[in-house]
């Protein structure tokens, strides 16, 4: 059965990525800046400070974001974010990612403030290929509610005309960073994947800042929308945290994937995959529940799906604790 084969491939892929290493993350480093870079960074900080103070920000470009959350080294959470940028710069640019507790306003009288995360990224036109452009960056944070500022500004050449004005925009998003360290059964953001790139070596911390969706030696590229051709696959990948352990110290989980099709005003069950189990029979003997998450994922060919609207229900059952988690995805198959 095609679904069974695809499911086995995805599970093997996610297992290899999951057990390769503990969750990686980009390190917040203070890059060595030239005088010009430092001046550009200070201008970017000023734009962000003004936005935090309530001054209406310029909006020469539009930014939409899609955050993903993964368990990192206790007590932090790793958050790669995909930015979709409309009217992106055609020149060099600078992006500032600043994370502050939700509701924080900039106080001009305060002395130097240490934010939970503030990281500049110096970009070239190659980063903005396509329209809209897509760019991935990431941050680390403790569980909680945050305002995250994405400030993007063009860099003017050194000898730009005095009346030249650089395009700039500030996108503010309030994000709830989940708590994966409380011992409760949970899962990372479920990612609908467009493609997967296998790397020969794990990226360096510097490279991770550029490619935050590399987990271990596997790079996941999310889909841009939820419309698929019949020649596509619907691929979902995620990690599971804090599963109960049986008497042998192993988890015992069932994953169910059920597809529903919208027919007129009604929704009817279309099909489902065989139950996917993760237990002592297929977990590596070296698995350490204290160090590694568990894999979840499926890849389903859509050739047998008639054109229309669908919903995928993902159900995770922890057979040790009896807890059940569900999630849903709506998607369209085009004729």
User: Which of 177, 194, 214 is the C-terminal boundary of a domain?
Assistant: 177
The string of pLDDT tens digits covering residues 306-321 is 999 999 999 999 999 9
Residue 262 has pLDDT above 90, yes or no: yes
pLDDT confidence of residue 97: 97
Mean pLDDT of 4-21: 41
d(CA 13, CA 271): 24
The string of pLDDT tens digits covering residues 148-174 is 999 999 987 777 677 778 889 999 999
Are 69 and 170 contained in the same domain?
A: yes
d(CA 239, CA 237): 7
Residue 30 has pLDDT above 60, yes or no: no
pTM for the model stands at 0.90
pLDDT band at 23 (very low <50, low <70, confident <90, very high): very low
Q: What are phi and psi of 126, to 5 degrees?
A: -65, -25
163 Cα distance to chain centroid: 39
Q: How many domains does the chain have?
A: 2
Q: Residue 305 falls within a domain, yes or no?
A: yes
Q: Residue 297 falls within a domain, yes or no?
A: yes
User: Which of 111, 142, 177 is the C-terminal boundary of a domain?
Assistant: 177
User: Which of 177, 199, 228 is the C-terminal boundary of a domain?
Assistant: 177
Are 131 and 263 contained in the same domain?
A: no
Token look-up 């925009």 returns: 169
CB under 8 Å to 330, separation ≥6 — which residues?
Answer: 226, 309, 310, 311
Are 46 and 160 contained in the same domain?
A: yes
Mean pLDDT of 59-64: 91
| CATH for 249 | 2.60.40.2550
pLDDT confidence of residue 56: 80
How is 178-233 classified by DSSP, letter by letter? ---SSSS-EE-PPEEEEEEEE-SSPPPHHHHHH-TTEETTEEEEE-SSSEEETTSE
Residue 16 has pLDDT above 80, yes or no: no
- Which stretch of 41-45, 101-105, 134-138, 144-148 has the lowest confidence by average pLDDT? 41-45
Are 76 and 135 contained in the same domain?
A: yes
pLDDT confidence of residue 15: 42
Closest CA to 166 of 87, 63, 60, 64: 60
pLDDT confidence of residue 29: 55
258 Cα distance to chain centroid: 24
Decide if 71 contacts 188 (C-beta within 8 A): yes
How is 244-268 classified by DSSP, letter by letter? ---TTS---EEEEEEEEEEETTEEE
The string of pLDDT tens digits covering residues 104-114 is 999 888 888 88
**Domain that includes residue 123, residue range:** 35-177
pLDDT confidence of residue 110: 84
| CATH for 132 | 2.60.40.150
Q: What percent of the residues of the chain are helix, what percent strand, and what percent coil, each to the nearest 5?
A: 15, 45, 45
Decide if 83 contacts 135 (C-beta within 8 A): yes
The string of pLDDT tens digits covering residues 271-285 is 999 999 999 999 888
pLDDT band at 2 (very low <50, low <70, confident <90, very high): very low
Q: Residue 95 is encoded by which pair of tokens? A: 């992006």
Are 11 and 109 contained in the same domain?
A: no
Proportion of the chain above pLDDT 90, given as a percent: 69
Residue 9 has pLDDT above 80, yes or no: no
State the chain's mean pLDDT as an integer: 88
Q: Residue 266 falls within a domain, yes or no?
A: yes
């Amino acid at each position: 059965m095609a679904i069974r084969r695809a499911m086995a491939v995805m599970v093997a892929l996610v297992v290899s990525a999951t057990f390769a290493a503990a969750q990686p993350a980009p390190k917040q480093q203070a890059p060595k800046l030239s005088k010009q870079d430092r001046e550009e960074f200070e201008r970017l900080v000023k734009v962000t400070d003004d936005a935090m103070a309530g001054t209406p920000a310029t909006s020469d470009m539009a930014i939409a974001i899609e955050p993903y959350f993964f368990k990192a080294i206790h007590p932090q959470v790793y958050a790669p974010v995909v930015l979709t940028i409309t009217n992106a710069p055609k020149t060099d640019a600078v992006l500032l990612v600043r994370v502050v507790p939700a509701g924080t306003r900039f106080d001009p009288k305060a002395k130097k403030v240490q934010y939970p995360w503030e990281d500049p990224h110096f970009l070239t036109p190659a980063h903005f290929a396509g329209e809209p452009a897509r760019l991935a960056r990431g941050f680390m944070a403790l569980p909680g509610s945050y305002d995250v500022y994405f400030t993007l500004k063009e860099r003017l050449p050194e000898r730009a005309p005095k009346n030249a004005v650089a395009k700039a925009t500030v996108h503010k998003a309030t994000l709830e960073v989940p708590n994966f360290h409380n011992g409760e059964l949970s899962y990372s953001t479920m990612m609908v994947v467009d493609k997967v790139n296998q790397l020969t070596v794990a990226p360096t911390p510097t490279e991770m800042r550029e490619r935050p969706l590399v987990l271990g030696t596997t790079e996941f590229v999310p889909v841009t929308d939820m419309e698929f051709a019949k020649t596509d696959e619907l691929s979902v990948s995620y990690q599971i945290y804090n599963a109960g352990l049986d008497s042998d110290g192993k988890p015992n989980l069932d994953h169910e994937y059920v597809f529903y099709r919208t027919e007129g005003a009604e929704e009817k069950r279309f099909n489902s995959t065989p139950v996917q189990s993760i237990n002592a029979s297929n977990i590596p003997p070296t698995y350490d529940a204290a160090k590694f998450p568990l894999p979840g994922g499926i890849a389903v060919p859509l050739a047998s799906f008639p054109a229309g609207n669908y919903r995928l229900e993902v159900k995770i059952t922890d057979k040790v604790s009896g807890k059940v988690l569900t999630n849903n995805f709506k998607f369209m198959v085009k004729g």
